[in-house]
A and B are shown apart, each in its own frame.
Chain A
Amino acid sequence: MSIEVRQLSKRFGDFVALDRVDLSVDHGELLALLGPSGCGKTTLLRMIAGLDRPDAGQVLFSGEDATARHVSERQVGFVFQHYALFRHMTVFDNVAFGLSVKPRATRPGKAEIRERVMSLLKLVQLDWLANAYPAQLSGGQRQRVALARSLAVEPKVLLLDEPFGALDAKVRKDLRRWLRDLHDQIHLTSVFVTHDQEEALEVSDRVVVMNHGRIEQVGAPDDIYESPASPFVTHFLGDVNLFHGRVESGRLTIGPFAHAVNGVDDAERAVAYVRPHDLDISRLADGALAAGRVAHIHAVGPLVRLELQRDDGAAIEVALAKERYRELGIAPGDLVYVKPRKLAVFPDGQDYVI
């Protein structure tokens, strides 16, 4: 089932949680809503589920207006951030709940419920825990029970609120991969909320970056990472260096450095954003973006991180492959020059406050 959101708005008192948001989710897609806390991503998810009601706008399921439909009639699966498992029921009863509350006419028989629940538990690899209570499970197990429970009613859409938020780093990574595999297996239209850019980029088909109740950018993980549409997205997706200059007739100039940029309007003040691994280091000043002295070297792991100190005191971060670093033979205190392989330019003054 496809989902479409039209001009959705929501305020909580003076706080604008959603500001005329438009979004469409294709059938069978796995979509990530990414943004800092308070950006409105969870509110958007809850409105799709019917757990909150919008002040204005529409939610459409397969082209049909579902805005007024009650949550229990939307046929969505919702996995809560803290799982919301029924603490007085066993894992089995938790998963069976959705089936057992169906009206008598459509309720499957006891044996059928049992079979469906057990096959779901097998799917999430927890069939051996059917008689345990939620309090006895680890975080990752609870998460998978919650998922099985939401799948039991055969929802048309699966919605997950910070699905890995409450887990520790190792379990997070495993579950992430597992969720991706599961999605490839069952192909259910799925939307999940996260504040972790790595998670969003790794798991989803498409990423929606949100800030201040608005959508900043929608696109495939690659596109978003490689060509961020705004300073905010650039900032939010990882470490970045800032260089101030100006744009004149399609050319960015920062001091002696010049670079052709397409599609950027002329601006008296512009900012170039360069990621640490998109900077190369040279001992020659020729064509360099900036110069700095090597202040710190962190050489652990495959990438070497250098911190350069500019004349004005500002720091530049560079990430180099270990081989390149050995080749250059850099030592603390050396004066070096940086050249960008890739940069994103935006007019200055554009809001990128997180």
Chain B
Amino acid sequence: MVERQLSNREGRATRGLLILLAILFLALFLLLPLYVVFQQALSQGLGLYLAALADSDARDAIRLTLLATSVALPLNLVFGVCAAWCIARFEFRGKSLLSTLIDLPFSVSPVVAGLMYVLLFGVHSPLGGWLEAHGLKVVFSTAGIVLASVFVTFPFVARELIPLMQSQGSEEEQAALVLGASGWQTFWRVTVPNIKWGLLYGVILTNARAMGEFGAVSVVSGHIRGETITLPLHIEILYNEYNFVGAFACASLLTLLALLTLLAKTLVEWRQHRATVRAGEQTLDLRARALTHLNRESA
């Protein structure tokens, strides 16, 4: 048995070589870029690093990024839950079309996305002209940046929830309704607890992407300093001005955000895994209790 398994696996040398190759590839493409960000940011000492972050332009950029994300996130969260509720819970004509359209933003270049918003809301367009006449500017303003952020993060929550809800089925919700619960009671007390981890994961991804979006935001931003510069755009400006410490210092913030995102994602997955393992352990515990219970009854 052991012998057969050994003879069947790759030799030690092959295995070692494959692992080495994979690690080299990952180190080259994942670890080194991370290292460079922090190395460059701190290359002139901690003082300059902190000064770069305390710069008023940098703070404006951070503020705008947080603002855009805090608007885009809840909007796409509500949409994602609604879309998942329709697609995973109902049969209707046009369902696959809806599903395809939700994915559309994934297959469009961010730059093209930005361009579409410029075409829609730019001063030359009828809609843009009308809005401008009513004092509402979309392109080259915060509103445009929010819209671009919403567009690029549009599918994340729905994409996480749809397969999850489909695999769970709707029997628990049906049971809740038979028991007399109202629609909202069913949603809050049965649906939400069942999808909370998927929801959290979708939110994490949306947040990361919204804070880091570059292409689409760059097109609609107009690069007005102190007004329409998000953190990624600020990094570009600093970099093009050869202010490498400043650029990498800001980049290090977003890198930390990315690492936090990965950590949160791993924790979510780990928790889900642990929940099933713990349920298994407690079952064993219950078996023991069942035995004592039976003993007590027969006594």
Seen from chain A, the residues whose Cβ lies within 8 Å of a Cβ on chain B are 49, 51, 71-73, 75-78, 80, 82, 84-89, 97-98, 101-102, 128-129, 132-133, 135-137, 149-150, 152-153
CB distance from B81 to the nearest CB of A (A): 17
Contact B182 A101 (CB under 8 A): yes
Contact A71 B194 (CB under 8 A): no
Asked whether B193 is an interface residue with its Cβ less than 8 Å from the other chain, the reply is yes
Contact A97 B171 (CB under 8 A): no
CB distance from A61 to the nearest CB of B (A): 15
A80-B172 Cα distance, complex, nearest whole Å: 9
> Which residues on A sit within 8 Å (CB–CB) of B289?
128
Contact B179 A80 (CB under 8 A): no
Contact A51 B174 (CB under 8 A): yes
Contact A132 B282 (CB under 8 A): yes
Contact B176 A51 (CB under 8 A): no
Query: Which of B180, B190, B276 neighbours the largest number of chain A CB atoms within 10 Å of its CB?
Result: B180
CB distance from B105 to the nearest CB of A (A): 32
Asked whether B181 is an interface residue with its Cβ less than 8 Å from the other chain, the reply is yes
> Which residues on A sit within 8 Å (CB–CB) of B190?
86
A-B contact pairs, 28 of them (CB 8 A): A51-B174, A71-B177, A72-B177, A72-B178, A72-B180, A73-B180, A76-B178, A78-B175, A80-B171, A80-B175, A84-B171, A85-B172, A86-B172, A86-B175, A87-B194, A97-B179, A97-B181, A98-B180, A128-B290, A128-B293, A132-B286, A135-B279, A136-B279, A136-B282, A136-B283, A136-B286, A150-B179, A153-B179
Asked whether B272 is an interface residue with its Cβ less than 8 Å from the other chain, the reply is no
CB distance from B291 to the nearest CB of A (A): 12
> Which residues on B sit within 8 Å (CB–CB) of A76?
178
Q: Which of A75, A82, A97, A128 contacts B176 (CB 8 A)?
A: A97
Contact B286 A129 (CB under 8 A): yes
Q: Which of A71, A88, A89, A135 contacts B283 (CB 8 A)?
A: A135
Closest 4 CB pairs of A and B: A98-B179, A84-B171, A135-B279, A101-B181
Beta-carbon nearest neighbor of A88 in chain B: B193
Q: State which size class the interface on B falls in.
A: 20 to 34
Contact A101 B179 (CB under 8 A): yes
CB distance from A184 to the nearest CB of B (A): 22
Seen from chain B, the residues whose Cβ lies within 8 Å of a Cβ on chain A are 171-172, 174-182, 185, 189-190, 193-194, 276, 279, 282-283, 286, 289-290, 293
Beta-carbon nearest neighbor of A51 in chain B: B174
A196-B182 Cα distance, complex, nearest whole Å: 35
Query: Which of A72, A75, A87, A102 neighbours the largest number of chain B CB atoms within 10 Å of its CB?
Result: A72
Query: Which of B179, B190, B193, B293 neighbours the largest number of chain A CB atoms within 10 Å of its CB?
Result: B179
Beta-carbon nearest neighbor of A128 in chain B: B293
A101-B177 Cα distance, complex, nearest whole Å: 10
Q: Which of A78, A86, A132 contacts B178 (CB 8 A)?
A: A78
A51-B174 Cα distance, complex, nearest whole Å: 8
Query: Which of A49, A78, A86, A102 neighbours the largest number of chain B CB atoms within 10 Å of its CB?
Result: A86
A82-B169 Cα distance, complex, nearest whole Å: 11
> Which residues on A sit within 8 Å (CB–CB) of B172?
84-87
> Which residues on A sit within 8 Å (CB–CB) of B181?
72, 97-98, 101
Beta-carbon nearest neighbor of A152 in chain B: B179
A128-B290 Cα distance, complex, nearest whole Å: 8
CB distance from B235 to the nearest CB of A (A): 42
CB distance from A255 to the nearest CB of B (A): 56
> Which residues on A sit within 8 Å (CB–CB) of B189?
97, 101
A75-B279 Cα distance, complex, nearest whole Å: 33
CB distance from B190 to the nearest CB of A (A): 6
CB distance from B13 to the nearest CB of A (A): 45
> Which residues on A sit within 8 Å (CB–CB) of B290?
128
Beta-carbon nearest neighbor of B286 in chain A: A136
A101-B185 Cα distance, complex, nearest whole Å: 7
> Which residues on B sit within 8 Å (CB–CB) of A97?
176, 179, 181, 189
A88-B172 Cα distance, complex, nearest whole Å: 11
CB distance from A102 to the nearest CB of B (A): 7
> Which residues on B sit within 8 Å (CB–CB) of A86?
172, 175-176, 190, 193
Q: Which of B174, B179, B182, B194 contacts A149 (CB 8 A)?
A: B179
A49-B193 Cα distance, complex, nearest whole Å: 26
Beta-carbon nearest neighbor of B193 in chain A: A88
A72-B182, A97-B179 given; name 18 further pairs at CB < 8 Å: A71-B174, A71-B177, A72-B180, A73-B180, A78-B178, A80-B175, A84-B172, A89-B193, A98-B179, A101-B179, A101-B189, A128-B289, A133-B279, A135-B279, A136-B279, A136-B283, A137-B286, A150-B179
> Which residues on B sit within 8 Å (CB–CB) of A49?
178
Beta-carbon nearest neighbor of B285 in chain A: A136
> Which residues on A sit within 8 Å (CB–CB) of B180?
72-73, 75, 98, 101-102, 153
CB distance from B112 to the nearest CB of A (A): 41
A86-B168 Cα distance, complex, nearest whole Å: 11
Beta-carbon nearest neighbor of B192 in chain A: A88
